[in-house]
């Protein structure tokens, strides 16, 4: 399993950091987690074939986490995709996401590949889906008035990745993985894009991400870091 950040900014992108998006890659396909910005461009730059995406997870419908979705689905159609695509989200976001896709005529278009928008189970630690060796589980988080959830991806023999999405400090997110919590607020720069393809294990960029995600010392849960995190997340 490999993963990389396609975007790491807050709600407003900077010159070098686009809005939030992460891709997790296995030999059987890839999962995109959140869809800000222009993911196809950044997937190409990361060495991930866009059509390898078998599933997309939209944690919540703030624009910086979801506005790239219609363009991505449309790009798939233009590129001749035939394989079905499943988009996972919270139950209350199924219809808004379907409406967003419909607005751009990217849902149930004649001749188009099948797009399914599916609700995840909101129970903490519930299994959302499997993709080959990847097991994706979720837990609710605390993003104020916006319903949201955190995502964990496991694969046998690989380090797990937990993505909090936008949240205040939250016990359910910590419980999702106490030692490998990847906080958006601690990602200081968008990582340089490096080739990231199935079968190319251990590229320097991938190792850097994994070490960063797995280091408790760099993600200390002390009060000062929680205050910084709260300010960051509450603005997301």
Q: What's the rounded Cα separation, in Å, for the pair 72 and 76?
A: 6
Closest-CA residue to 42 (of 34, 213, 162, 166): 34
Q: What's the rounded Cα separation, in Å, for the pair 198 and 206?
A: 12
- Report, in Å, the least distance between residue 111 CB and Zn ion: 35
**Stretch 38-67: interaction string toward Zn ion, x if CB under 5 A:** ------------------------x-----
Q: What's the rounded Cα separation, in Å, for the pair 232 and 236?
A: 7
What residues between 164 and 193 interact with Zn ion by CB under 5 A? 166
Question: Rounded to 5 degrees, what are φ and ψ at 228?
Answer: -65, -45
Pick the closer one to Zn ion by CB: 2 or 17: 17
Question: Rounded to 5 degrees, what are φ and ψ at 24?
Answer: -115, 130
**Stretch 76-105: interaction string toward Zn ion, x if CB under 5 A:** ------------------------------
- Report, in Å, the least distance between residue 17 CB and Zn ion: 16
Pick the closer one to Zn ion by CB: 75 or 165: 165
Q: Is 236 in the site for Zn ion (CB under 5 A)?
A: yes
- Report, in Å, the least distance between residue 229 CB and Zn ion: 14
DSSP single-letter state for residue 108: S
Q: What's the rounded Cα separation, in Å, for the pair 1 and 134?
A: 8
Pick the closer one to Zn ion by CB: 60 or 219: 60
- Report, in Å, the least distance between residue 77 CB and Zn ion: 28
Q: Count residues near Zn ion (CB under 5 A).
A: 3
Pick the closer one to Zn ion by CB: 131 or 182: 182
If one counts every other C-beta atom within 10 angstroms of the C-beta of residue 56, the result is 27
Binding segment for Zn ion (CB under 5 A), chosen from 127-135, 182-190, 199-207, 228-236, is 228-236
Q: Are strands 53-57 and 85-89 parallel, antiparallel or unpaired?
A: parallel
Binding segment for Zn ion (CB under 5 A), chosen from 14-22, 119-127, 162-170, 191-199, is 162-170
CA angle 118, 93, 213 (to 5 degrees): 80
- Non-local CB neighbours of 44 within 8 Å, separated by 6+ positions: 50
- Report, in Å, the least distance between residue 79 CB and Zn ion: 29
Residues that bind Zn ion (CB under 5 A): 62, 166, 236
């Amino acid at each position: 399993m490999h993963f990389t950040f396609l975007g790491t900014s807050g709600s407003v992108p900077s010159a070098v950091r686009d809005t939030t998006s992460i891709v997790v890659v296995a030999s059987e396909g890839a999962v995109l987690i959140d869809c800000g910005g222009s993911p196809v461009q950044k997937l190409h730059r990361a060495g991930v074939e866009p059509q390898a995406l078998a599933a997309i997870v939209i944690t919540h419908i703030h624009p910086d986490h979801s506005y790239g979705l219609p363009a991505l689905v449309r790009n798939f159609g233009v590129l001749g995709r035939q394989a079905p695509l499943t988009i996972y989200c919270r139950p209350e976001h199924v219809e808004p996401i379907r409406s967003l896709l419909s607005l751009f005529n990217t849902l149930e278009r004649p001749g188009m590949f099948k797009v399914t928008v599916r609700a995840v189970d909101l129970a903490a630690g519930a299994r959302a889906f499997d993709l080959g060796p990847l097991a994706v589980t979720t837990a609710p988080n605390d993003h104020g008035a916006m319903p949201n959830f955190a995502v964990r991806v496991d694969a046998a023999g690989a380090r797990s990745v937990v993505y909090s999405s936008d949240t205040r400090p939250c016990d359910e997110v910590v419980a999702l993985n106490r030692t490998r919590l990847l906080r958006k607020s601690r990602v200081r720069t968008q990582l340089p894009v490096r080739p990231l393809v199935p079968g190319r294990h251990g590229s320097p960029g991938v190792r850097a991400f994994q070490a960063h995600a797995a280091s408790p010392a760099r993600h200390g849960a002390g009060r000062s870091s929680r205050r910084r995190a709260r300010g960051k997340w509450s603005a997301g």
